A and B are shown apart, each in its own frame.
Chain A
């Protein structure tokens, strides 16, 4: 099963704005793309054309792995606004 199909099973209410902000200047000089590797939701991706990193914040499981993994401090990460984000029904 693809990761996005798994996340689609979760109860997630999305905010209009992303709770994750990337500093593209820092991302541009990153070779490792650690965020792509660690994210359980596989939400990070590199736009080959623009060279920008993007994160599909709507599928965020709010673990914070990306924030920890990005040793270049590009990721400005906060929890989503109250009432938004994933709501675990099992946990």
Chain B
């Protein structure tokens, strides 16, 4: 939509084909958007957008089977404008943005599924939807993480289970006052909570909880590669259910009414999973371009989508002005992405998955933390041993070993 917005604003004839009943109806986010990197791409949009809450506190909850540790970080700077990130709901945000896109002169056509690309002399010259052929000088494929169009254009590598995670999300309705009281927020403020540990049963992944105006977004993300390798498989849907009934989650969501159950694929391959981004007559943007980045503490995607859309529009404009839609000319799309935070950040954090896919992060370290704190806080029947002795025992059991040293060392890759 960002691409459509800019191209229409430049006076180009733009058709935006939306598979759902309306933009947003087929989209799912956790989630939240970081706006600092993209303010320049959609300034008036970011300022007016119907976001949910600006996030002022970040929480991490590390879970063992029957214990947990929670760390909450709040920063006053985030309470003041300009805000760093906002929670949002795609149906609300996308439909609003689609309206803005239409106002710029683009045709937003819902209920239109793109089935094929049209080719001429090795260049994409349009799309086919059902029986209808729609010619175009340039096609920008923003058709999501599965991107059939990138696949049909031969740009995308086959989808491997180890490169993807499945996200399951539930929306709970809870009034704004209760949300603010429970999370310790002023009106309009939001919280983001990430969960890691026993909830994914050793599988790479974690849980999330975001506060919206009068709803909560709760979900779990688990690696498909790991899910299918389980010796005694637990279904993804059960992981979600068991996560949602944990006391550490119930304390936030209890009393909330379940309104929606959603699912989505997330690329976990990082820079490795980025397909070829262009061919003659076509550019690939957003999730379709593999532009999602999981840094454990922060999970990013939507700002990459906005930026890549804006840069795609810029390059498309140049190509149309010059009358050159060849792959050679369009390669400057990739070049510009490299010069922007989009590919630069993807590259900087290329090795993150090597660090984060360490099973011990989801099993050993949560257990260590849990046992350490149990030892420190518990007063039993007999004499209590010195705290240092308790700490050393826990450390000896879990982390005074070669693997932990290697793990610590590997953190440098982030």
Q: Which residues of A contact B (CB under 8 A)?
A: 1, 3, 6-7, 9-10, 32, 34, 36-42, 61-65, 67-69, 71, 78-79, 81-83, 85-91
CB distance from A76 to the nearest CB of B (A): 12
Q: Which among A3, A79, A87, A88 has the highest number of chain B CB atoms within 10 Å?
A: A88
Q: Which of A61, A68, A78, A87 contacts B261 (CB 8 A)?
A: A61
Q: Do B258 and A69 have beta carbons less than 8 Å apart?
A: no
Q: Do A88 and B262 have beta carbons less than 8 Å apart?
A: yes
Give 25 A-B contacts (CB < 8 Å), ordered by A residue.
Answer: A34-B161, A36-B233, A36-B235, A37-B227, A37-B228, A37-B236, A38-B235, A40-B240, A64-B146, A65-B164, A67-B146, A67-B159, A69-B161, A69-B227, A79-B113, A82-B19, A82-B111, A83-B21, A85-B26, A88-B24, A88-B260, A90-B91, A90-B217, A90-B260, A91-B262
Q: Which of A71, A79, A88 contacts B25 (CB 8 A)?
A: A88
CB distance from B164 to the nearest CB of A (A): 5
Q: Which among B22, B160, B263, B264 has the highest number of chain A CB atoms within 10 Å?
A: B263
Q: Do B94 and A39 have beta carbons less than 8 Å apart?
A: no
Which 10 A-B pairs give the minimum distances between C-beta atoms? A91-B90, A40-B263, A6-B261, A63-B263, A61-B263, A82-B113, A34-B228, A37-B233, A87-B25, A65-B166
Q: Which among A3, A40, A69 has the highest number of chain B CB atoms within 10 Å?
A: A40
The closest CB in chain B to the CB of A59 belongs to: B261
- B311 contacts A by Cβ under 8 Å: no
Q: How far is the CA of A7 from the CA of B111 in the complex (A)?
A: 22
Q: How far is the CA of A62 from the CA of B261 in the complex (A)?
A: 12
- B378 contacts A by Cβ under 8 Å: no
Q: Do B258 and A1 have beta carbons less than 8 Å apart?
A: yes
Classify the secondary structure of A's interface with B.
loop
Q: Which residues of A contact B89 (CB under 8 A)?
A: 90-91
- B364 contacts A by Cβ under 8 Å: no
Q: How far is the CA of A23 from the CA of B170 in the complex (A)?
A: 32
Q: Do B262 and A38 have beta carbons less than 8 Å apart?
A: no
- B28 contacts A by Cβ under 8 Å: yes
Q: Contact flags (1/0) for B144-169 with A, using CB distance below 8 Å?
A: 01101000000000011100101110
Q: Do A39 and B236 have beta carbons less than 8 Å apart?
A: yes
Q: How far is the CA of A69 from the CA of B163 in the complex (A)?
A: 11
The closest CB in chain A to the CB of B266 belongs to: A63
In the complex with contacts A9-B260, A40-B166, A82-B111, A88-B28 CB distance below 8 A: yes
Q: How far is the CA of A23 from the CA of B146 in the complex (A)?
A: 21
In the complex with contacts A64-B146, A69-B228, A91-B27, A38-B259 CB distance below 8 A: no
Q: Do B166 and A91 have beta carbons less than 8 Å apart?
A: no
Q: Contact flags (1/0) for B196-234 with A, using CB distance below 8 Å?
A: 000000000000000000010100000010011010011
Q: Do A1 and B241 have beta carbons less than 8 Å apart?
A: yes
Q: How far is the CA of A85 from the CA of B258 in the complex (A)?
A: 20
Q: Which residues of A contact B90 (CB under 8 A)?
A: 88, 90-91
Q: Which residues of B contact A7 (CB under 8 A)?
A: 261
Q: Do A91 and B237 have beta carbons less than 8 Å apart?
A: no
Q: Which residues of A contact B19 (CB under 8 A)?
A: 79, 82
